[in-house]
Amino acid sequence: MKKSSRTDTAPLEFRHIRAPLGEITLAGRGEFLTGVEFLDQTPSALPAESGHTGSSLPVLKAAEQWLERYFAGEDPGETPPIHLTGTPFRLAVWEQLRRIPRGETTTYGAIAAELARQLGIPRMSAQAVGGAVGHNPVGILIPCHRVVGSDGNLTGFASGLRRKFRLLALEGLDMSRYPLPPPRGGSDLRQIPGVGPNIEQDLFRIGIRRIADLAGEDPEQLYRDDCAVKRFQEDRCQLYVFRLAVYFAEHPHPEPEKLRWSWWKDHRQ
């Protein structure tokens, strides 16, 4: 992680790029990349944009090319030079994130244990680590999406769990190893009618069936239609469909379901 006395005085410049999972904002000062996040991320880790939007700063072009290779499924190689500012604790956590290899995951607890070992203290809070991970200003290149819960649950991603799911899948992970977070209503997913040992696959089928029903389509035809199934499985909203299936099980009333069908239809492409 390089630093320069000129970094903090150089003007902050921004560049917006389109990516398979949504529009991304890049930020940089001088020769260093300082921020990467999805445009709709909440909360944002970047300062408000003022001037220099659409910058052709070389480091931002290099970051764009790195992301193009990443989303193409290639090894993007070494990241462009990054400059981070934050508390010593956050900087230490972000350095741990940079050490997680592509195609692998770790847990908040494992990071906490490693930092405690380095500092020579008995223990460190996994929750504190989670807070620092959540404030990572350089998404994807500093891979906070590779941190999961101690039970493998996909949790804690400011750009949305569906993106976390897709980023890990893009890196070749077997996503059946990473269970969905419990639904807000507290349901046991295994108690949903039609759900067996393969929870994710069964929820996927339930989601297709209910969406097909709301759309006035034959679900069996939807299964047989290779193009439709392929689009569905590759769509950025796959994780949302799992959630939708859980919602269907918890809320049998049709009007809220129709609202959610409209959302799915708008985001299917």
User: What does DSSP assign to residue 117?
Assistant: H
pLDDT band at 24 (very low <50, low <70, confident <90, very high): very high
The β-bridge partners of 13 are 28
Question: Considering the entire predicted model, what is its pTM?
Answer: 0.67
Q: Is 16 left (phi over 0), alpha (psi -120 to 50) or beta?
A: beta
Q: Which residues are catalytic?
A: 144
Most confident of the ranges 65-69, 197-201, 202-206, 208-212: 65-69
97: pLDDT confidence band, cut at 50, 70 and 90? very high
Strand, coil or helix: what is 268? coil
Residues 137 and 83 sit within 8 Å (Cβ to Cβ): no
Write down the CATH number for the domain with range 88-160. 1.10.10.10
Burial of residue 154 (CB within 10 Å: 0-12, 13-18, 19+) is buried
CATH 1.10.10.10 residue ranges of the chain are 88-160
Q: What is the pLDDT of residues 237-254, one digit of tens each?
A: 455 555 555 555 555 444
* Confidence (pLDDT) at 62: 97
**Which whole number is the average pLDDT over 172-185?**
66
Tens digit of each residue's pLDDT (9 = 90 or more) over 111-152? 999 999 999 999 999 989 999 998 999 999 999 999 998 878
Residue 108's nearest CA partner among 44, 155, 169 is 155
> Using 50, 70 and 90 to split pLDDT, how confident is the model at 190?
low
Kindly report the average pLDDT of the chain as a whole number.
76
